[in-house]
């Protein structure tokens, strides 16, 4: 079946599709734009039946028609406009004229930018991100569960590969729950249309870049979602996919040109090796396979060396930020993209939204590999990527080693120390996202063998180390499973659907064990939210001794001491070794229990973590 599907895709890639069923003027994108943008230039992509046979006319003060580009496929025009400073918002017709026929007209709107406070404000180390797969969180509107004009029909909650019916309204219905938990930012896996025939729920095979998937809601509802989050003091992270597109999108089914995507004689998958991009001794063939190979049969690899593709992607992302006012961007599969384009993209986006935050998905246990993709050319790459931060997979793996490994010269908790000691490689490590799991990997509870003590230690480290902490939906209620396959870690949040046997959004619906975990996370998250030193304070760590690892977060006003016992038995340790940071403090408050602790000697149970706010330091 896959070979057949790919053969069909190849036909589309090598012979542009028939336009028999395409309307005379199918679409113009971006559908509208704004005056007062930093970049005055705009390129419209126009799709319609032999639209290239028509002449383009427009007349609006402050708008200049710079050029009209015809490409290989006559069903496309690319129109370059310049919108001068001082242009007044308004609407004007764009006419597509052909002798002997009635002109086709598109009414184009230029809008005023929204400079309201709190839009595109950035997600920083002051925040706690909560990652949600909308299809698996809550079904707030059963009326949008299925549409007859989409390829995948119905919801089937008994199948891990099918749609389950979660949507934007479902997330909006539970914002109070997230606010109470201590969350300050919400990251949704892509809510954009994925009109694929199978497993379309994950969102990473976009088929319409300018449209929220109708099974999640509408563009207008997404904007309301962001506005409601902002009204509650919550931020929003939008998930973007530069590298690939779903094969059922109009630009793939009827490509503007053969070079719109990376072409191969036969289906060729990426080698998925970051090192092929990094290696100074590497072959051009390996680098090309990494960057240009396809991610999957149904994920066409975008050719970012194509200037039309570049403008199409960049403008779409700017459009969504300005339209909805999102605060940050997560960039999927970052290392697979063209490096020069991504550097330019970051500059273009930041020019329009200076406070917006951006972090790229870089999944590796190597600090050097992560740093290679971050901004500043800190590892002598020869290119400044302008990427502020990454998903810190090296710290994630090091936390698990600290929890599960046996302490030694470079393993166990010492490995975590070693990883953090390499933070000098980053221009600003506070922008890295510290996480324990996500939708592509085994859940944290399973990774620590369902040991609640280790679970709490993992949460403690995630929320007290430098960087931006990010948790995955359901971790706070002890959702578990291994990513084999990944659908097992994408189960529905219990209580998100009418008729669910249990409602884990409420204390009454949770077991005692789940409430214990939930209350621990809530206590810690809210303490972090109200404690500046855990957000922006400096960090000092000490070499582990006999499995005891100690680090501090501190500023001029407050010091928090974190003590982790990586040993399999309870340990008591004297604290005189840490006098440089403890200073004159004799006691501390246990952040979780509220108890006052004598700092001269600390007793820490096996695999446990103490979070201590120093008194009188």
- Going across the sheet that includes 609-615, the strands are 538-545, 548-554, 559-565, 609-615, 587-590, 596-598
Catalytic residue among 254, 361, 392, 613: 361
DSSP state of 75: T
> Interhelix angle for 307-324 vs 339-352, to 10°?
30
Nearest Cα neighbor of 391 from 461, 336, 353, 334 is 334
CA 45 to chain centroid: 26
Cβ proximity of 163 and 215 under 8 Å: yes
Nearest Cα neighbor of 465 from 423, 427, 425, 434 is 434
User: Burial of 424 by CB count in 10 Å (0-12 exposed, 13-18 middle, 19+ buried)?
Assistant: exposed
DSSP state of 103: P
What Å distances lie between residue 17 and 4, 13, 21, 49, CA to CA?
17, 9, 10, 11
State both tokens at 581. 């940071």
Kindly provide the b/e burial profile for residues 200-231, where b requires at least 16 CB atoms within 10 angstroms of the residue's own CB. bbbbbbbbbbbbbbbbbbebebbbbbbbebbe
409 Cβ partners below 8 Å, 6+ apart?
none
Cβ proximity of 565 and 572 under 8 Å: no
Catalytic residue among 332, 392, 401, 476: 332
Helices (DSSP H) in 353-499: which residue ranges? Answer: 367-372, 393-404, 413-420, 444-447, 452-464
Nearest Cα neighbor of 606 from 414, 408, 453 is 453
Nearest Cα neighbor of 426 from 352, 358, 494, 376 is 376
The yes-or-no answer on residue 361 being catalytic is yes
- Give 220-235 as a DSSP string: HHHHHHHHHHHHTT-E
Residues in the chain: 617
State both tokens at 522. 């809530």
Cβ proximity of 323 and 223 under 8 Å: yes
What Å distances lie between residue 123 and 75, 189, 359, 360, 535, CA to CA?
41, 16, 10, 13, 12
Number of separate helices (H) and strands (E) present in the chain: 17, 28
- For 301, phi and psi rounded to 5 degrees? -85, 115
Active-site amino acid positions: 332, 361
């Amino acid at each position: 079946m896959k070979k057949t599907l790919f053969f069909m895709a190849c036909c589309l890639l090598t012979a542009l599709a028939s336009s028999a069923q395409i309307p005379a003027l199918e679409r113009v994108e971006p559908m509208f734009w704004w005056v007062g943008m930093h970049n005055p230039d705009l390129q419209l992509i126009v799709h319609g039946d032999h639209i290239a046979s028509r002449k383009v006319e427009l007349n609006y003060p402050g708008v200049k028609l710079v050029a009209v580009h015809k490409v290989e496929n006559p069903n496309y025009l690319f129109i370059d406009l310049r919108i001068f400073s001082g242009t007044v918002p308004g609407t004007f017709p764009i006419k597509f004229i052909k002798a002997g026929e009635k002109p086709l007209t598109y009414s184009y709107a230029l809008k005023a930018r929204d400079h309201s406070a709190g839009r595109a404000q950035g997600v920083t180390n002051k925040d706690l991100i909560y990652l949600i797969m909308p299809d698996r969180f809550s079904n707030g509107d059963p009326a949008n569960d299925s549409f007859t004009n989409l390829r995948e029909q119905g919801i089937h909650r008994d199948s891990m590969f099918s749609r389950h019916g979660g949507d934007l309204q479902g997330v909006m219905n539970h914002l109070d729950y997230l606010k109470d938990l201590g969350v300050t930012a919400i990251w949704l896996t892509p809510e954009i249309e994925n009109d694929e025939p199978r497993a379309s729920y994950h969102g990473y095979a976009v088929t319409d870049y300018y449209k929220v998937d109708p099974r999640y809601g509408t563009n207008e509802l997404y904007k309301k979602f962001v506005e409601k989050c902002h009204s509650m003091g919550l931020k929003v992270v939008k998930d973007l996919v530069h590298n690939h597109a779903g094969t059922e999108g109009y630009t793939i089914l009827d490509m503007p040109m053969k070079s719109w995507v990376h072409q191969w004689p036969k289906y060729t998958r990426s080698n998925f090796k970051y090192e092929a991009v990094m290696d100074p001794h590497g072959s051009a063939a390996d680098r090309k396979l990494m960057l240009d190979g396809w991610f999957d049969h149904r994920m066409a690899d975008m050719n970012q060396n194509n200037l039309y593709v570049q403008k199409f992607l960049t403008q779409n992302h700017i459009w969504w930020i300005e339209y909805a006012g999102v605060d940050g961007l997560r960039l999927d599969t970052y290392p697979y993209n063209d490096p020069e384009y991504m550097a330019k993209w970051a500059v273009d986006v930041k020019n329009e939204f200076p406070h917006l935050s951006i972090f790229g998905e870089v999944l590796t246990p190597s600090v050097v590999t992560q740093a290679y993709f971050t901004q500043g050319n800190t590892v002598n790459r020869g290119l400044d990527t302008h990427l502020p931060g990454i998903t810190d997979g090296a710290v994630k793996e090091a936390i698990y080693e600290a929890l599960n490994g046996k302490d030694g010269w470079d393993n166990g908790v010492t490995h975590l120390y070693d990883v953090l000691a390499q933070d000098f490689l980053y221009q600003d490590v506070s922008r890295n996202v510290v996480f324990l799991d996500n939708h592509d990997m085994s859940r944290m509870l399973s990774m620590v063998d369902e040991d609640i003590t280790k679970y709490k230690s993992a949460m403690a480290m995630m929320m007290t180390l430098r960087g931006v902490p990010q948790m995955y939906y359901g971790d706070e209620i002890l959702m578990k499973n291994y990513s084999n396959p990944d659908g097992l870690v994408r189960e529905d949040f219990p209580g998100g659907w009418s008729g669910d046997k249990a409602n884990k959004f409420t204390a009454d619906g949770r077991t005692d064990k789940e409430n214990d975990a939930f209350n621990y996370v809530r206590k810690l998250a809210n303490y972090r939210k109200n404690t500046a030193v855990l957000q922006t304070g400096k960090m000092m760590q000490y070499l582990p001794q006999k499995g005891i690892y100690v680090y501090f977060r501190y500023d001029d006003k407050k010091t928090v001491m974190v003590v982790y016992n990586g040993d399999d038995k309870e340990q008591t340790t004297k604290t005189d070794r840490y006098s440089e940071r403890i200073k004159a403090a004799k006691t501390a408050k246990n952040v979780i229990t509220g108890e006052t602790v004598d700092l001269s000697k600390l007793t820490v149970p096996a695999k446990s973590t103490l979070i201590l706010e120093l008194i009188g330091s």
